[in-house]
């Protein structure tokens, strides 16, 4: 999975000493990453900021993290960071809009009128207390999932929720976290973007086929005119906008990271880039595709952050009974749908339930007929990883999909997945959703451990 920025590598030191412009920009990305994530953790998740910094930010910055400084101002509800004196960043907390890295000019303040949530179509999955299983097999599975390594890299498991047949059958939280704690989904957010696009398709406002309605590409002579919403969902648009899968010394300077942590209008940045390959001819996982989808959602929901929130709650979150969720936006009022939704682990699991029965909940269709199968269908050229349309999928005969199947995750499973070990595993054949959140810097970002958890749960149920 992508880590937006592991800026720090010893290979970057010469650039620092030389004062390279490219390094100055990358330093700005590092400062923006740190300020935004620390702001979200402090004011949205409401976890202890210094612990979050040690567990989630410092490991990302190694070995030059000592060049980064930070300050949390609770009175002003903001976080400021500085990287080696080359770049500074300030992130501010905006209530229901979450945190924003300040890019002048700031978006105009817009008051969203309070609205009573629509009745949930899904019944409660659990009571007010964490569900500690009495089944010894499930208890042992949670014990293994929360077991910590004796030395780095650490796994930092923070929340696990297991839902079977609509009920939480096991869950556990680390100290400082609980059933209401909103945790960052990173790229698991892309799957929520998939759902919002699906709703607009069901409403007849968008189509996955035909040219994507992006004004900058409206000229049929523009080679980007051929890009479809399907291409954007499947990461095969061909846009030359870097990649968001890996993080090393070279990807520290990747335009994908710059777009998310240094640009005022992220979608505008994405729409300006040229094609690198013909749409549909190759696969390249990059956040720019999803941010363009995010702007389509904004434009079809009313054009503002407030109207986007209204749409998301009215058409998705309220119907699923998701009560602890925060969407974050850029300075152009576009949802950061590539990476920046925070929700409680229970609510992330409730989101997974939407995909167990072809997008129908409580007898009401939320997603178009066949949308779930479409989302889990393997995208050509992604076989090494196993990617569908906004979800990672096990529906492949080789590569990452078969690795996951051999590790214990059923072949019909697909998942929302985010950097550092965020997982919402959906297993339709077992009526099962397994959500795991944390800050894993282990190999494969704890995929092996999560696969063992899924396998153990299925064995116990059978």
**What is the model's pLDDT at position 246?**
67
113 within some domain = no
pLDDT band at 142 (very low <50, low <70, confident <90, very high): very high
**What is the model's pLDDT at position 15?**
45
Distance in angstroms (rounded) separating the CA atoms of residues 144 and 128: 25
- Kindly state whether residues 74 and 169 are assigned to the same domain: no
The last residue of one of the domains, among 35, 67, 101, is: 101
pLDDT at position 386 over 90: yes
- Kindly state whether residues 167 and 88 are assigned to the same domain: no
- Kindly state whether residues 337 and 414 are assigned to the same domain: yes
Please give the share of the chain, as a percent, with pLDDT higher than 70.
94
**What is the model's pLDDT at position 20?**
63
Range scoring the smallest mean pLDDT among 13-17, 275-279, 406-410: 13-17
Closest Cα partner for 335 from 254, 418, 267? 267
pLDDT at position 19 over 60: no
- Kindly state whether residues 190 and 97 are assigned to the same domain: no
pLDDT band at 189 (very low <50, low <70, confident <90, very high): very high
| Highest-scoring range by mean pLDDT, 12-26, 82-96, 190-204 | 190-204
15 within some domain = yes
DSSP string, 119-131: PPSSPPSS-SS--
Return mean pLDDT, the chain. 92
pLDDT band at 252 (very low <50, low <70, confident <90, very high): low
213 within some domain = yes
Rounded to an integer, the average pLDDT of 169-193 is 98
11 CB-near residues (< 8 Å, 6+ apart): 249
pTM of the complete model beyond 0.85 = yes
**What is the model's pLDDT at position 398?**
86
- Kindly state whether residues 195 and 321 are assigned to the same domain: yes
Rounded to an integer, the average pLDDT of 27-45 is 95
pLDDT band at 449 (very low <50, low <70, confident <90, very high): very high
433 within some domain = yes
- Kindly state whether residues 326 and 431 are assigned to the same domain: yes
Range scoring the smallest mean pLDDT among 8-17, 366-375, 386-395: 8-17
289 within some domain = no
**228 pairs with which residues across the strands?**
211
The last residue of one of the domains, among 52, 73, 101, is: 101
Rounded to an integer, the average pLDDT of 198-221 is 98
Tens digit of each residue's pLDDT (9 = 90 or more) over 311-355: 999 999 999 999 999 999 999 999 999 999 999 999 999 999 999
**What is the model's pLDDT at position 261?**
93
The last residue of one of the domains, among 101, 126, 143, is: 101
pLDDT at position 87 over 90: yes
86 vs 212: which has the higher pLDDT: 212
pLDDT band at 105 (very low <50, low <70, confident <90, very high): confident
**What is the model's pLDDT at position 253?**
75
376 within some domain = yes
**What is the model's pLDDT at position 371?**
98
109 within some domain = no
- Kindly state whether residues 71 and 203 are assigned to the same domain: no
22 vs 202: which has the higher pLDDT: 202
pLDDT at position 106 over 60: yes
Total number of domains constituting the chain:
2
- Kindly state whether residues 387 and 305 are assigned to the same domain: yes
Q: In whole angstroms, how far apart are CA 322 and each of 121, 124, 188, 261?
A: 11, 10, 16, 27
Distance in angstroms (rounded) separating the CA atoms of residues 264 and 101: 9
**What is the model's pLDDT at position 421?**
95
Give the sign of the dihedral formed by CA 402, CA 197, CA 115, CA 330. Answer: positive
Distance in angstroms (rounded) separating the CA atoms of residues 214 and 224: 10
Closest Cα partner for 84 from 10, 35, 17? 17
119 within some domain = no
User: Domain range spanning residue 33?
Assistant: 10-101
Q: In whole angstroms, how far apart are CA 272 and each of 230, 231, 289?
A: 19, 17, 12
- Kindly state whether residues 186 and 330 are assigned to the same domain: yes
């Amino acid at each position: 999975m992508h880590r937006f920025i592991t800026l720090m590598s010893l290979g970057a030191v010469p650039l620092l000493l030389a004062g390279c412009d490219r390094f100055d920009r990358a330093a700005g990305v590092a400062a923006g990453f740190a300020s935004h994530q620390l702001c979200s953790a402090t004011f949205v998740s409401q976890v202890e900021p210094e612990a979050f910094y040690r567990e989630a930010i410092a490991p990302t910055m190694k070995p030059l993290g000592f060049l980064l400084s930070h300050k949390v101002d609770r009175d002003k509800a903001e976080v400021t960071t500085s990287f080696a004196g080359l770049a500074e960043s300030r992130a501010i907390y905006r209530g229901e809009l979450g945190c924003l890295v300040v890019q002048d000019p700031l978006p105009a303040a817009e008051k969203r009128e309070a609205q009573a949530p629509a009745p949930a179509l899904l019944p409660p999955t659990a009571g007010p207390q964490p569900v500690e299983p009495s089944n010894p097999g499930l208890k042992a599975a949670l014990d293994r999932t929360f077991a910590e390594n004796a030395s780095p890299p650490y796994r930092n498991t923070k929340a696990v929720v297991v839902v079977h047949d609509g009920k939480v059958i096991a869950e556990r939280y680390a100290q400082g976290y609980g059933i209401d704690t909103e945790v960052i989904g990173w790229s698991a957010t892309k799957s929520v973007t998939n759902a919002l696009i699906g709703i607009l398709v069901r409403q007849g406002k968008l189509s996955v086929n035909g040219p994507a309605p992006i004004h900058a590409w409206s000229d049929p002579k523009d080679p980007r005119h051929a890009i479809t919403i399907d291409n954007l969902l499947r990461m095969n648009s061909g846009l030359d906008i870097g990649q968001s899968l890996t993080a090393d010394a070279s990807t520290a300077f990747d335009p994908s990271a710059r777009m998310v942590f240094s640009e005022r209008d992220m979608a505008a940045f994405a729409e300006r880039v040229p094609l690198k390959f013909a749409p549909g001819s190759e696969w390249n996982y990059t956040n720019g595709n999803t941010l363009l989808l995010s702007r389509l959602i904004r434009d079809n929901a009313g054009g503002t952050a407030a109207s986007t929130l209204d749409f998301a709650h009215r058409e998705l979150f309220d119907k699923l009974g998701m009560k602890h969720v925060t969407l974050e936006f850029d300075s152009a009022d576009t949802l950061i749908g590539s990476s920046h939704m925070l929700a409680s682990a229970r609510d992330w699991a409730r989101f997974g339930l939407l995909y167990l029965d072809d997008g129908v909940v409580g007898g009401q269709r939320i997603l178009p007929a066949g949308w779930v199968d479409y989302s889990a269908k393997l995208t050509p050229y992604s076989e090494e990883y196993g990617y569908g349309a906004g979800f990672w999928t096990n529906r492949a005969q080789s590569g990452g999909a078969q690795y996951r199947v051999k590790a214990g995750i059923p072949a019909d499973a697909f998942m929302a997945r985010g950097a550092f070990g965020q997982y919402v595993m959906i297993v339709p054949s077992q009526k099962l959703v397994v959500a795991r959140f944390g800050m894993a810097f282990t190999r494969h970002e704890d995929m092996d451990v999560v696969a063992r958890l899924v396998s153990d749960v299925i064995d116990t149920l059978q």
